[in-house]
Amino acid sequence: GKAARPCSLGGGSVSPLPPQGSPDPPAGGAGRAREEKPSSFLGTKWKDTAEIVIIGGGCIGVSLAYHLAKAGMKDVILLEKSELTAGSTWHAAGLTTYFHPGINLKKIHYYSIKLYEKLEEETGQAVGFHQPGSIRIASTPTRVDEFKYQMTRAGWHPAEQYLIGPERIQELFPILNMEKVLAGLYNPGDGHIDPYSLTMALAAGARKYGALLNYPVQVTNLSPRSDGTWEVETPHGIIRTNRIVNTAGFWAREIGTMIGLHHPLIPVHHQYVVTSTIPEVKALKTELPVLRDLEGSYYLRQERDGLLFGPYESQEKMKLQESWVTNGVPPGFGKELFESDLDRIMDHIEAAMAMVPVLKQADIINTVAGPITYSPDILPMVGPHQGVRNYWVAIGFGYGIIHAGGVGKYLSDWILGGEPPFDLIELDPNRYGKWSTTQYTATKARESYGFNNIVGYPKEERFAGRPTERVSGLYKVLKSKCSMGFHAGWEQPHWFYKSGDEIGYKPSFRRTNWFEPVGREYKQVMEKVGVIDLTPFGKFIVKGNDSVKLLDHLFANVIPKVGATNISHMLTPRGQVYAELTVSHLSPGEFLLVTGSGSELHDLRWIEEEALKGGYNVEIKNITDEMGVLGIAGPFARKVLQKLTIEDLSDSAFKFLQSRYIKLSDIAATAIRISYSGELGWELYHRKEDSAALYNVIMEAGQEEGIDDFGTYALNALRLEKAFRAWGAEMNCDTNPLEAGLDYFIKLNKPADFIGKQALKQIKEKGLKRRLVYLTLETANIDPEGNESVWHNGRVVGNTTSGNYSYSTQQSLAFAYVPTELSKVGQKLEVELLGQNYSATIVEEPLVLTEQTRTRLQKKGGSAKV
């Protein structure tokens, strides 16, 4: 075929685009769709046992099958209900890019592109991969700042990325109207691929390595067995398997529903249009780079001698397919499309015509409106699911083509290796929970779609769908007094308003309206006493005969004595940090485990799986939603609390890291003497119904001491000055606890052979290649926040992990990973912020001593810093 054909709407089965880029279309790829005879599974092999059953034959599922089989897994079975690529893959626009505004997904993109480059050679299947590069266009000064911000976040990654000026942009994209163009973010090697051929190549590879791809085979039911294995029911018989992976695209909800899960997914109508031949395009000697006009919110690429143009409509205009969530996907929906609606994208078409004027003369010869699955935050869900053993997902892909290769490899490595090969926490399926309702999902998907091209600020907050039904007992009391942050469904105060403040959420690439207020809260805690809502912590009770044994196996620290609390880490078998929790031994054999809000189900899944796998006799209860938590911290914390209880709170009677059941003016609470601020403080765990009352009595009691609220931004400033590491920043499964400087919490000599112990001993023996260092730097109106490039002698040598302003020493500070040889105190380095390298110095930690240390030094008669 010459150009693209008009697509048939509803019920049609013609592919949206002809295969392109290779003179010889791959076998079965020429006419595609119906012409391709799906080889009935009856004609191939049918097996009724499998190591793994992958449900769904889109690019994601097929990539997983390919990677598992290639890595040597036997008995990989993929079941597809109609034919490979049916659903979303077949009509995808096929864009590939190295760019991702986040961090870990850059690795996925990178792997995918490197794989796609060599797939034809490996499998003999052409994939129509074009790599003309891509340019993101900035036409506002803020957008230029965003690009600078993204440059420092990309600088310590391998993919090439350049901030380029108008001249270079014009050279690369000669038919661009340069009037509004200020700058471009250029990624050589970006481009597009034919999604159908890509999937067929991966399928050919998967078969070559021994995977069975069986279709059409519909999964009709899933039954878990008591040993953690599964029975997968199909019209052709039952398959017994050790593990299931749901890769069913917009049918993934249907699969989840079979086992009582409600995956937060919703299909959106994504449209793109293809033009007829444009003489100016035809005349070009080289293919145009892919253009992303962020202000106009669309992508545009060359399609043969015409252009292909795909917009992201605003949240008001975009269209969701809600009926598929409420009533299910129409059973026969395979290679069909929705009715297209050009009116909806008119604004974007006009923006594109202004930017690329030759479009004005072009005819639209093809319009594609296809279903793409969105999750609330448009990031996919990839990994094992909490609450159901051996049920994994790889679902919610809004950009499945660029993610397929990398995610297939990532999951395959995780499944075979028993732990994630690298940190990809933002894709953890367990970031959602019961609070992610259908209503929430729809509202959020709408927002996410509309925000596809908005400016991505640091500390971004999005407001649709809030609050969820998961609110703290203090939400009503606090909501008008502060700027709230969203954490795992909860609203938690970031910072509090005072008269004279510029209130509300005012994001910026530089210091902004919360800079002064956070300093005020910081001072409040350092000099007086502050109260913070910590309800969003994940909280679990572990008890039973084997609780001590289980925790000794899970945690690298020793088990605290009854009445005591420990900071403790769960390591992976490779000796990396899986999680950081506090463990409080409440009564003999009964423990309270507390983790950050973002890691609740992530941690719970791990604990539950180990308990089941090892046959431990324990009861594990998630009490996150039942318990409120108030933190009180600062030099007057003791004085204020003492007014409310008969319990002796003196330093010798209620020691640091002790926990105790107490009554505060008749309200029952488990009090732990701990504070992530590093100041004198307690955390008060209480029934959520009592939160407001407890808050009120404490505020009342603290009048004289000038008690006030503080939020998580001040808490972060406080913990950084104390050099407390944060999970997800300084430590994660990319880091071992020794390079993170967590040695103090890791007890390699404890008798129990805890997970990761052996690996960590070897790591220690070999010596560390890099180390976490503590940096101070002088800047102008900007602070590091993590993920920035760290330079030395004109080369990027590492990356920051978090950062902030140090309100007491009045300079910026940051944690960073650098090679061991550059990790000594006094070493000079540079940190790149918004296009400028600031000189930084490694200093001894901490900048400010903890209350604990200050008190200890004072008792010894020493003089304390601060």
Task: Give the residue with the Cβ less far from ligand THG, 308 or 630.
Answer: 630
- Tell me how far apart the alpha carbons of residues 212 and 677 are, in angstroms, rounded to a whole number: 55
- Tell me how far apart the alpha carbons of residues 339 and 269 are, in angstroms, rounded to a whole number: 9
- Tell me how far apart the alpha carbons of residues 816 and 803 are, in angstroms, rounded to a whole number: 9
Task: Give the residue with the Cβ less far from ligand THG, 517 or 846.
Answer: 846
Instruction: Please state, in angstroms and as integers, the Cα–Cα distance from residue 695 to each residue in 264, 276, 527, 536, 865, following that order.
Output: 34, 66, 20, 16, 32
- Cβ partners under 8 Å of residue 835, min gap 6: 148, 151, 152, 163
Task: Give the residue with the Cβ less far from ligand THG, 49 or 587.
Answer: 587
Beta carbon of residue 424, minimum distance to ligand THG (angstroms, whole number): 20
Task: Give the residue with the Cβ less far from ligand THG, 189 or 741.
Answer: 741
- Cβ partners under 8 Å of residue 767, min gap 6: 820
Reduced to 3 DSSP states, what percent helix, strand and coil does the chain have, rounded to the nearest 5?
A: 30, 25, 45
Structure tokens at 171: 């050279």
CB atoms within 10 A of CB 68: 29
Beta carbon of residue 724, minimum distance to ligand THG (angstroms, whole number): 5
The residues that touch ligand THG, with contacts defined as CB under 6 A, are 567, 580-582, 594-596, 657, 672, 674, 676, 683, 724, 850, 852
Burial 575-601 (b: 16+ CB within 10 A, else e): bbbbbbbbbbbbeeeebbbbbbbbbbb
Structure tokens at 449: 């779609």
Task: Give the residue with the Cβ less far from ligand THG, 340 or 712.
Answer: 712
Task: Give the residue with the Cβ less far from ligand THG, 20 or 808.
Answer: 808
Beta carbon of residue 183, minimum distance to ligand THG (angstroms, whole number): 40
Task: Give the residue with the Cβ less far from ligand THG, 203 or 526.
Answer: 526
- Tell me how far apart the alpha carbons of residues 330 and 322 are, in angstroms, rounded to a whole number: 12
How many distinct helices (H) and strands (E) make up the chain?
A: 20, 37
Beta carbon of residue 594, minimum distance to ligand THG (angstroms, whole number): 4
Beta carbon of residue 740, minimum distance to ligand THG (angstroms, whole number): 12
Task: Give the residue with the Cβ less far from ligand THG, 63 or 568.
Answer: 568
Task: Give the residue with the Cβ less far from ligand THG, 495 or 676.
Answer: 676
Structure tokens at 783: 């602070």
Task: Give the residue with the Cβ less far from ligand THG, 199 or 572.
Answer: 572
Nearest to 484 by CA among 476, 475, 473, 492: 492
Beta carbon of residue 708, minimum distance to ligand THG (angstroms, whole number): 20
- Cβ partners under 8 Å of residue 74, min gap 6: 51, 210
Q: How many CA atoms lie within 13 A of 326 on its CB side?
A: 6
- Tell me how far apart the alpha carbons of residues 379 and 109 are, in angstroms, rounded to a whole number: 13
Task: Give the residue with the Cβ less far from ligand THG, 582 or 716.
Answer: 582
Beta carbon of residue 629, minimum distance to ligand THG (angstroms, whole number): 8
Task: Give the residue with the Cβ less far from ligand THG, 690 or 730.
Answer: 730
The residue assigned the tokens 């290769």 is 405
Beta carbon of residue 574, minimum distance to ligand THG (angstroms, whole number): 22
Task: Give the residue with the Cβ less far from ligand THG, 273 or 594.
Answer: 594
Contact 221, 165 (CB under 8 A): no
The residue assigned the tokens 């699955």 is 373
SS3 category, 638 = helix
CB atoms within 10 A of CB 451: 18
The residue assigned the tokens 């400028």 is 836
Structure tokens at 34: 């119906």
Beta carbon of residue 39, minimum distance to ligand THG (angstroms, whole number): 52
Beta carbon of residue 142, minimum distance to ligand THG (angstroms, whole number): 34
Task: Give the residue with the Cβ less far from ligand THG, 636 or 676.
Answer: 676
In 710-784, beta strands by DSSP E: 770-777
Beta carbon of residue 652, minimum distance to ligand THG (angstroms, whole number): 17
Contact 396, 265 (CB under 8 A): yes
- The crossing angle, in degrees rounded to 10, of helices 400-417 and 59-70 is 40
Beta carbon of residue 742, minimum distance to ligand THG (angstroms, whole number): 9
In 389-516, beta strands by DSSP E: 391-395, 482-487, 490-496
Beta carbon of residue 675, minimum distance to ligand THG (angstroms, whole number): 7
Beta carbon of residue 684, minimum distance to ligand THG (angstroms, whole number): 11
- Tell me how far apart the alpha carbons of residues 89 and 405 are, in angstroms, rounded to a whole number: 13
